Structure 1
Amino acid sequence: MDQPISPAERAATQLPPGGLSGPEFETPSAAGAYSGGEGHSGGEAHSGGVQPDEARPARTLGPLKMIWAEMYKYPGHTAMALLALLVTASATLAIPAGFKLIIDNGFSAGGDPSDIGRWFRYLLLIVVVLAIGTALRFYFVSWLGERVVADIRLKVQDNLLRLAPSFYEENSPKEISSRMTADTALIEQVVGTTVSVALRNVLMGLGGTAYLFWLAPQLTIWLVVAIPLIILPIAYFGRRVRNISRTSQDRVADVGAMVTETLGAMKIVQAFNQEARENTRFSSAVEAIFDTAKRRIMLRAAMTSIIIMFIFGSITLILWRGALGVSTGEISGGTIAAFVFTAALVAGAFGALTEVYGDLLRGAGAASRLNELLNEKPAIAPPARPELLPQPPRGSLSFRNVTFRYPTRLEVAALKDFSLEVEPGETVAIVGPSGAGKSTIFQLAERFYDPQAGSIRIDGVPLTSADPAEIRRRMALVPQDGILFSANARDNLRYGEWDATDEDIWEAARAANAETFLRDLPDGLDTYLGEGGARLSGGQQQRIAIARALLRDAPILLLDEATSALDAQSEQLVQQALDRLMENRTTLVIAHRLATVRKADRIVVLEGGQIVEQGTHAQLSDAGGLYARLASLQFANHEPG
């Protein structure tokens, strides 16, 4: 009998909507291949169920224009990096020339000791210049890499904060997070390493080849034949090793997902006695990693063997031909030494370029994906000449014949021909079954979306004519879950009014029934609340959210089922805080709790995106319609005794 597929197994083989992107894998460097050293794949294994795949290489280097544009903002650092690059490439090529002079003039019989010292001083000077130039190149190139990535991240984040929530409904936040981390890290590698390596190897390859033709034209022709024999197997085996390395990283990601899921659900695993099955699944995944690693090791071993044979075989043949030339007096010993040294540099340079181009294409792919985020236009944006909202605020809201469909659910209307007038200072409760469109009203009121038909007005001004930021300044939201940030209590409380003083914060905390537990925290307002406020209970988180809304001091209050997930004691404290918060404010309440419904000036009952009833609690209870049925089902247990 087949075993059921677990969520971790599904996660390892499926991608979320929109397609995800993940960390790039570094290719085995040419230098590592020449030395016979083991390459590495730097793919980062994510924890979590779904693994983003890597940024696909671009077809051309065109998307890298975005990176060049950022680099050109720092012409001084760019010029210094290029100058240092030119100096180091020239100094590297000067070393074989120095060896030639030393061997020909210093090692010959009867050489003048003063001349020998002079040639070695020249060689030491070249080494010093190379060392200083390399340090400067590393500094300026690395500085440019970090600076360009920082600027791109800032620009992308700035644009992301402008985009409407509809964008994040259609595009996975995990994918966007991956672009902000893995793709920018790949761009940092391109600017800080790849471009520098590419330019250095181009200079050394071309300059070294010219020097070789000057040294020994006939030997150079032999070398021109030998270099492709070295590069082709590197390119072939390198591609195979990269593919297997990616497969290996996928298998590692599978294990990471499996461990995260199993440990996170350990109570369920043990409660249903599935330890043995989970261990079997884990063993299979680990063995899959090992099998993939074996193939990679075999390929690396074969590649290393062939490359060493080709490189040292070519050097041996060239030395053989050179030795014959020395014996006949055609060339000097210093010339053959300089030739072999330079030939190794040239072969290494051209070999590295085959890898560098692939890295540049992957960097271009990452730049293209980030450029998409940079060029994304907000669906909700202020008009060219926004209409000013009246002062002082009145707090009225008007929905007139509104029809709205979510971008990802166009086949179903969340609201149909919806009309509602909310007067200043009025408390309107919105009730209805799940999916009736209650939360959609809040989304539209804050202009996170625009309706496909109808109009919404605040204080008589159409939302589409006003600046969205000004609209939201007139509203304070208390969500169903008291969403908090990974920060201290003070920053969470003043999120609605960042300039609030500690005195204002404590006053709001007092009104929200949050003062007592806040003062009991180890460091008071400076206490870190953990990720998402994890160090607080649900009721405490909710009271923080209410205090945050109090500090906002907005004329319109939006309460999204603010007490639905609380126990009776927490609900009572939160409800008392809400009553104070609702005083002298226009309030829209998505209500499941009877206490809030009873105190509302008006109750609006939604079903299928339309108003089916409205009135007071007493009127609707007596009408015997949908509200009466909902009240008997949902609120009967909360009737006061």
Structure 2
Amino acid sequence: MARNGPESEHQRASSKKVGSLRALFPFFAPYQRYVILAGIALVITASVSLLLPVAARRVVDGFEDGALALLDGYFLAAIGIAAIFALGTGMRYYVVTRLGERVVADIRKAVFARMISMSPAYYENLLTGEVISRITTDTTLILQVIGSSVSWFLRNSLLFVGGLAMMFITSGKLTLMVLAIIPVVILPILALGRKLRKLSRVNQDWIAQSSGNASEALQAAQTVQAYSHEAASRARFGEVTEASYATAKTRIGVRALLTMIIIFVVFSGILGVLWIGARDVRGDVMTAGELVQFLIYAGIMAGSVAALSEIWGELQRAAGATERLVELLGAEDSVSDPAKPKALPAPVRGEIAFENVVFHYPSRPEEAALNGISFTARPGEQIALVGPSGAGKSTILQLLLRFYDPQQGTIRLDGIALADMERAAFRQNLALVPQDPVIFAATARENIRFGRPDASDAEVDAAARAAQAHDFISALPQGYDSYVGERGVMLSGGQKQRIAIARAILRDAPVLLLDEATSALDAESERAVQDAFATLTEGRTTLIVAHRLATVKQADRILVFEQGRIIAEGNHDELVSQGGLYARLARLQFTEGLAAE
């Protein structure tokens, strides 16, 4: 089940503030042209905004002077300025929004590419739903920041600096009074901003936890319903969602308080400045136009400060989201490819060797799943792995696929250690039929072709026939082009297993791995598939994990596993004559099975 809370307090406290957004810079590097265009548009719009108060001053003073022609000229100039402002704003919106969409798309692809290649050990302590939440929810936050918040932050920063400079030019005395207000504004930003950042990180953690919880429950919807667990699942999801809402409510409250304090302080200061300025106009210290100009600049600066305080909260939320994505991008995998990988000799013979292999699953370090395993599978040999559940049989296949690396010992393919080769390269020579077949939300044809994407329709058809899947696929509404639903919900267990077998047949690899490959088939289908396997395994090295001994009687060799060790080895007749665990299992399955009939 899902974990009981979001990430640890220590992880949340490790936030690097808004500086975390620097991790996004490499994603902007390929699009410097757009960054420059956005910067130009930003400067144009900010500059035009700072020219408008000057035009307003000229208009007001023009009224006082009574120069009608001059007044008309100022109005025409103001219309021209407005046109430039509109053009710059439109260009800025287009370029920045497009840049944001492009960068976020690249981030999503980079995170997915990293996560899809991580070994299963990485996912032992991390819900896939939480990873999906980071790819979707966190990148959406970043998109909002890149496409809007950063642009507004830079624009308001320019307006603040430019407005302050123009205020000094207009009236130094009044400007100093305004500056006295700034420390009063900065203090709540610093005090409440730190709390806001922590709350934002917690809120994102809870959102990810909520997504992970929902994903886990929905993927197991049939089991949830079969055990009448809907109410408990709803309650659990409700608890996580309410915790997310409670954190969000606190965060919103802090932001609202911060905004209220800043707006009150800023506008109270402006009113005080207006009062003094009005007295200066009465005393002929400054003109009415200069006072209007100063007030507009003060309003621009006040508005920019208020906007900056609000945007700062958004930037802090995005910083938390960026940290979470950077964690995924920088995640260390316990399994990695060598810097200079070796290549398998061609053609691949399919010789497999386990040399004194010891392995502990990362989540169970105190328990050895395999303990001193050594055996060699000769090219073309068919070896069966039998024994009770948890004896280490399927672990052999997982290590051979290099989903994990052993703590001791070496695994070789054609004499070359797996750790010395690129995983994608040597896996091309392996075909797996897992105990729980994975069916994708696609057509039957696409699911079979997953084994070899470049296969022709005729080859897909031949593989399906060999796996005894052709008849039921042809009976589907659109035949091979029928959509089989998410995780193959429109197919029976046996049908899904036969599609998985067809996928392995189509791969045509020199090494075949069968993990309870016929466990979901009825007796008639199993016999037909066993006939297909007789052809498929010919000339291929085959490892067969099976509980039903009837499926392994014809194997060249049988390895008997118990508690992570090989305790016996031989063919079916030899092992039965030796007595021991295999003989006991054979007696239970064959003798008592026949008696029960």
Q: Shared fold by TM > 0.5? A: yes
Give the corresponding residue for 1:94.
Answer: 51
Query: Percent identity of the aligned residues?
Result: 45
Among residues 37, 40, 48, which one is paired with 1:80 in the alignment? 37
Q: Secondary structure at the match of 1:116?
A: helix
Q: Please, which of 31, 54, 67 is the counterpart of residue 111 of structure 1?
A: 67
Which of these residues, 321, 337, 341, is aligned with residue 296 of structure 2?
A: 341
Give the corresponding residue for 1:132. Answer: 87
Task: For 1:67, give the aligned amino acid.
Answer: L
Asked if 1:586 is matched to 2:541, the reply is yes
Corresponding residue of 1:600: 555
Aligned residue for 1:612, secondary structure, equals strand
Q: How many corresponding residue pairs?
A: 592
**Counterpart position of 2:134:** 179
Distance 2:267 2:528 in 1: 81
User: Which moved further from structure 2: 512-521 or 235-244?
Assistant: 235-244
Q: Where does residue 404 of structure 1 map in the other structure?
A: 359
Question: 1:227 Cα deviation (Å)?
Answer: 4.1
Q: How is 1:490-505 mapped onto 2 (pairs within 5 angstroms)?
A: 490-505=445-460
**Which of 483, 492, 495 is equivalent to 1:540?**
495
Residues 1:315 and 2:306 are matched in the alignment:
no
CA contact (8 A) 2:156 2:305 kept: yes
SS in 1 for 2:353: strand
Q: Is the 8 A contact 1:496 1:551 kept in 2?
A: yes
Contact 1:594-1:639 at 8 Å conserved across structures:
no
Superposed CA offset, 1:542-566 (max 9, x none): 1111111011111211000112244
Give the conservation status (yes or no) of the 8 Å contact 1:497–1:551: yes
Taking the aligned partners of 1:558 and 1:229, their CA distance within structure 2 comes to: 70
Once structures 1 and 2 are overlaid, which stretch shifts more, 247-256 or 492-501?
Answer: 247-256
1:20-419 to structure 2, matched below 5 A, reads: 58-59=15-16, 62-105=19-62, 107-108=63-64, 110-112=66-68, 114-169=69-124, 171-230=126-185, 232=187, 264=221, 265=224, 268-269=227-228, 309-376=264-331, 379-419=334-374
- Unaligned 5+ runs, structure 2: none
Query: Helix, strand or coil for the counterpart of 2:30?
Result: coil
Q: Which residue of 2 aligns with 1:455?
A: 410
**1:570 CA drift (Å):** 5.0
Q: Hey, what does 1:553 align to over in structure 2?
A: 508
SS of the aligned residue for 1:108 comes to helix
> How has the CA–CA distance of structure 1 residues 521 and 20 changed in structure 2, closer, same or farther, with 3 Å as cutoff?
farther
Q: Are positions 1:480 and 2:480 aligned together?
A: no
Helix, strand or coil for the counterpart of 2:552? helix
Aligned-residue offset at 1:241? 7.6
Q: How far apart are 1:377 and its partner, in Å?
A: 5.5
Q: Is the 8 A contact 2:193 2:313 kept in 1?
A: no
For the Cα contact (< 8 Å) 1:227–1:347, is it kept in 2? no
Question: 1:134-176 CA deviation, whole Å, 9 max, x = no partner?
Answer: 1111122222222222223333333444443333335543443
Separation in structure 1 between the aligned mates of residue 290 and residue 296 of structure 2, nearest angstrom = 10
* Structure 1 residues 67 and 282: alpha-carbon distance in aligned structure 2, compared to 1, 3 A threshold: closer
Distance 1:145 1:204 in 2: 23
Distance 1:230 1:463, change over 3 A: closer
Distance 1:297 1:463, change over 3 A: closer
Task: Provide closer, same or farther for how the CA distance between residues 460 and 84 of structure 1 changes in structure 2, counting only shifts above 3 A.
Answer: same
Going from structure 1 to structure 2, the CA distance change for 1:291 and 1:545 (only over 3 Å counts) comes to closer
Cα gap change, 1:193 to 1:54, in 2 (>3 Å): farther
**CA shift in 2, pair 1:110/1:366, >3 Å:** closer
Q: Report deviation, 1:628.
A: 2.2
CA contact (8 A) 2:13 2:198 kept: no
SS state of the match for residue 294, structure 2?
Answer: helix
* Residue identity in the other structure for 2:105: A
What is the distance in 1 between the residues matched to 2:408 and 2:76? 83
**Where do 5+ consecutive residues of structure 1 fail to align?**
1-6, 22-52
Relative to structure 1, the CA distance from residue 531 to residue 420 in structure 2 (aligned partners, 3 Å threshold; closer, same or farther) is same
Going from structure 1 to structure 2, the CA distance change for 1:76 and 1:337 (only over 3 Å counts) comes to same
Partner of 1:14: 5
CA distance in 2, matches of 1:252, 1:368: 15
8 Å contact 2:129–2:216 — kept in the other structure? no
Structure 2 CA distance for aligned equivalents of residues 84 and 576 of structure 1: 71
SS at match of 2:371: strand
Task: Report the secondary structure of 2:102's partner residue.
Answer: helix
Mean CA deviation greater in 432-441 or 347-356: 347-356
> SS of the residue aligned with 2:403?
coil
Q: How big is the shift at 1:623?
A: 2.7
Deviations along 1:81-131, one digit per CA (max 9) or x if unpaired, are 1111111111111121221111111x326331x322211111111211111
* Structure 1 residues 562-597: Cα deviation after superposition (integer angstroms, max 9, x where no partner): 122445455445444444433332211101123212
Residue 467 of structure 2 aligns with which residue? Answer: 512
User: In 2, Cα distance between the equivalents of 1:461 and 1:246?
Assistant: 46
Corresponding residue to 1:531 among 481, 486, 491? 486
- CA shift in 2, pair 1:60/1:284, >3 Å: closer
- Between stretches 281-290 and 607-616, larger displacement belongs to 281-290
Distance in 1 of aligned mates of 2:319 and 2:209: 28
Deviation of the 1:133 alpha carbon: 0.8
How big is each residue's C-alpha offset from its partner over 1:24-55, in whole Å with a ceiling of 9 and x where there is no partner? xxxxxxxxxxxxxxxxxxxxxxxxxxxxx997
Return closer, same or farther for 1:167/1:281 CA change in 2, 3 Å cut-off.
Answer: closer
Distance in 1 separating the partners of 2:302 and 2:117: 50
| Shift in Å, 1:443 | 1.6
CA distance in 2, matches of 1:301, 1:457: 63
